[in-house]
Amino acid sequence: MTKQPKTIQEMMTLLVEERGLDITGFSDFSTVLLDCNYYRLSGYFQAFQIDPSHGNNRFRNGTHIKDFMIPYLMDEQLRLLILRGTSSLEQTLRAHFAYYLAQNEGAYSYTDLSSYKTIKYPDGTEAREVLIENIHKWLERSSEVCIRHYRNNNEPIPIWAAVEAMPFDTLSKMISLHTNTTAVDELNQSLSLGKNRQRAAQIIHSMVYLRNICSHHCRL
C-alpha cells in the first residue's frame, strides 16, 4: 500500500488530535516538523507510544513534546562530540599507519595483493581483491592536489599520500588485513590499542561504524 504525503498541518493534527500528544507551551512544533523531518522524529516517538510494534501509535497519557525533543537534541549533541573525536582518531590513524608501514615495508607495497591476508567473504570473493580494487578506485577519484600531482606525472603514489585519499572504512580494512605484523603492532602500540591484533582491529572497525552512524545522523 502506497502512502500519500501529508502537509505539516496534517502531521500536527495526526500527532496532537488523533494520537494525543501534548504541545502546550510549544509554539514552534510546525517548524520542528519541517526542519527535522517527521520520519526522523518518529524514531524518538516510539518510547512514548502505547504499542507501536503492534500498530497502536497513540501516545501514553501525559506525553509532552519535550519528552522526545530533549533526547532528540541530546542525541544531536552526542553525534557532534563523537564525530569530533572519531575525526581526530581517523587523521591519527592515517598518519601512524603510513609512517609505520613505510618504515617497515617501503612506500609502495600497499597496492600489492600479497600485502594482505587471504580471507574470503561468504559469497566467495577475496577480501584483499576487493580492498585493492577500492584502493585504486579512491586513488583514481581523489581530487587531492598531492594525488593529482603523482597521477599527472605518471608516478607511483607513496603510502603517506595515498592514505589521504582513503575513506575511514577502507583504511580500517587495510590495517586489519595487512600481513606486516610489525607495522601493525607498532601502529597499535602507538595508539594504546593493546597487543591483541584482532581486538585492536575490532576497536578500529567499531570506530568506523560509530562514525558512519553519526555521519548519517542516525539515532544513537
Q: Looking at the structure, do residues 32 and 133 belong to the same domain, yes or no? A: no
pLDDT digits (tens, 9 = 90+) for 161-181: 999 999 999 999 999 999 999
Q: Looking at the structure, do residues 27 and 96 belong to the same domain, yes or no? A: no
Q: How would residue 188 be classed by pLDDT, with cut points 50, 70 and 90?
A: very high
Q: Looking at the structure, do residues 96 and 186 belong to the same domain, yes or no? A: yes
In a domain, 1, yes or no: no
Q: Looking at the structure, do residues 77 and 44 belong to the same domain, yes or no? A: no
Q: What is the structure's pLDDT at 220?
A: 84
Number of domains in the chain: 2
Q: Looking at the structure, do residues 31 and 95 belong to the same domain, yes or no? A: no
Domain final residue pick, 63, 87, 110: 63
- Report d(CA 217, CA 44) in Å as an integer: 13
Q: What is the structure's pLDDT at 3?
A: 84
Q: What is the structure's pLDDT at 219?
A: 86
Q: How would residue 217 be classed by pLDDT, with cut points 50, 70 and 90?
A: confident
Q: How would residue 130 be classed by pLDDT, with cut points 50, 70 and 90?
A: very high
Domain final residue pick, 19, 34, 63: 63
Q: How would residue 2 be classed by pLDDT, with cut points 50, 70 and 90?
A: confident
Q: Looking at the structure, do residues 43 and 78 belong to the same domain, yes or no? A: no
Q: Looking at the structure, do residues 56 and 32 belong to the same domain, yes or no? A: yes
Q: What is the structure's pLDDT at 26?
A: 85
Q: Looking at the structure, do residues 211 and 115 belong to the same domain, yes or no? A: yes
Q: Looking at the structure, do residues 88 and 14 belong to the same domain, yes or no? A: no
In a domain, 3, yes or no: no
Q: Looking at the structure, do residues 195 and 107 belong to the same domain, yes or no? A: yes
Average pLDDT of the residues in 196-200? 94
Is residue 144 predicted with pLDDT exceeding 80?
yes
Q: What is the structure's pLDDT at 172?
A: 95
In a domain, 68, yes or no: no
Which domain does 51 fall in, by range?
8-63
pLDDT digits (tens, 9 = 90+) for 55-108: 999 999 999 999 999 999 999 999 999 999 999 999 999 999 999 999 999 999
- The model's pTM is 0.81
Q: Looking at the structure, do residues 54 and 97 belong to the same domain, yes or no? A: no
Average pLDDT of the residues in 203-216? 92
In a domain, 2, yes or no: no
In a domain, 121, yes or no: yes
- Per the structure block, which three cell numbers stand in for 98? 603510513
Q: Looking at the structure, do residues 152 and 184 belong to the same domain, yes or no? A: yes
Percent of the chain at pLDDT above 90?
Answer: 85
Domain final residue pick, 22, 45, 63: 63
